[in-house]
Amino acid sequence: MRALVATADTATPVALLTVPEPRPRADEARVAVEAVSLNRGECRRLLSADSGWVPGWDVAGVVVDAAADGSGPPEGSRVVGLVDQGAWAERVAVRTDRLAVLPDGLSAVAAATLPVAGLTALLCLARGGQLLGKRVAVTGATGGVGVFALQLAALTGAHTTAVVSGPDRTTGLPEQGVDEVEVGLDHGDGRFDLILESVGGPLLAAALTRIAPGGRIVTYGNSSGQPTTIDIAAFYPRHDAALTAFRLFEDLDAHGGGSRHLDTLATLLDAGLLDVPIDVERPWGEGAKVVRALLDRRVAGKAVLTVT
Ligand SMILES: NC(=O)c1ccc[n+]([C@@H]2O[C@H](COP(=O)([O-])OP(=O)(O)OC[C@H]3O[C@@H](n4cnc5c(N)ncnc54)[C@H](OP(=O)(O)O)[C@@H]3O)[C@@H](O)[C@H]2O)c1
């Protein structure tokens, strides 16, 4: 079968090549891939990957072989799923506890955006507890995780602030779900009950100064690649505020819920309560160009490749 394979060339980081078929374990279904979406983490990993590695976390397609242990959806089911690697291929083995059946009306292209970005948004927001009437800020607001996080926070009744990197960097913000927009976190003086932070560097330091007493900052990324110098004197007076770390795969390993949460996200998308933030949709033969666009910050929201 064909797959997008790491080349170890940063200018053209993937190429379509022939690779072996996946060999599913008993608890895995074999899925014929129709669409995949790209995430900053896997694109960045590509830059240092050995040639031959098949990346890919997010997958939507059709089950061609149900799991041998009888778990999960039967052959022919349209599904969305999350894998550790290898989704950028014609077929991939997916653990049935990270697979959900798609509502009839939901396209594979839309569904493919959900696994990493949607699950990260949903589970990071869950760290904030009950959000009705709470003030939630999301940094990296125009990114894949950010656009889902803002919309999900608004759905739970939170007051949302989208934190962007410049006044000209608002393209891609969702039409619904944004109450306020801030450039960075240095200029406002409002306090937030929950901050989802993925840019790192000085923005994380600024987040520490904007958290409310008892509030929580969930850090789950470092898109800037910069280290953070903090003024702890600005943080400890916020009695009981906390800085907590999140990693999606570890969270799912510890708590499960992958299928259930994917089902929730797909249902919200299908019902029109969540807007799918697709900025780029291209055939997978253009994978290298799309990876470069994402790494170079030329994608607002999600990029999707269709497997043709
Ligand atoms: N811990 C986990 O399990 C987990 C899960 C998912 C994602 N992540 C991480 O979370 C971050 C966001 O993921 P994503 O998929 O939403 O990424 P993305 O789609 O590429 O979005 C990145 C966002 O950050 C903003 N940004 C600000 N400064 C940036 C900089 N110096 N470099 C790059 N972007 C910058 C971008 O907007 P502008 O370009 O307009 O500034 C954009 O809004 C990534 O670092 C990713 O690796 C971690």
Q: What is the pLDDT of residues 111-161, one digit of tens each?
A: 999 999 999 999 999 999 999 999 999 999 999 999 999 999 999 999 999
- Residue 255: pLDDT above 90? yes
Ligand 1 centroid distance, CA of 63 (Å) = 31
Report the CATH number of the 2-117+256-306 domain: 3.90.180.10
User: Which residue, among 177, 173, 58, has the nearest Cα to 125 in the 3D structure?
Assistant: 177
- Specify the 3-state DSSP secondary structure of 157: coil
Q: What is the pLDDT of residues 192-244, one digit of tens each?
A: 999 999 999 999 999 999 999 999 999 999 999 999 999 999 999 999 999 99
The residue ranges of every structural domain in the chain are 2-117+256-306, 128-245
- With a pLDDT cut of 90, the percent of the chain lying above it is 97
Q: Where are the beta strands (DSSP E) in 198-237?
A: 211-219
Integer CA distances (angstroms), 41 to 16, 83, 144, 232, in order = 20, 14, 11, 29
Token pair of 290 as six digits: 């799309």
Ligand 1 centroid distance, CA of 302 (Å) = 11
Question: Residue 84 — left, alpha, or beta (φ > 0 → left; ψ -120 to 50 → alpha)?
Answer: alpha
Any idea which fold 128-245 has? Rossmann fold (3.40.50)
Ligand 1 nearest atom to the CA of residue 41, by list position? 47
pLDDT at 277: 84
User: What number of other Cβ atoms are within 10 A of residue 244's Cβ?
Assistant: 12
Q: What is the pLDDT of residues 5-27, one digit of tens each?
A: 999 999 999 999 999 999 999 99
Ligand 1 centroid distance, CA of 1 (Å) = 31
Any residues with Cβ below 6 Å from ligand 1, and which? Answer: 39-41, 116-117, 120, 140-146, 165, 169, 198-199, 220-224, 246-248, 294, 297
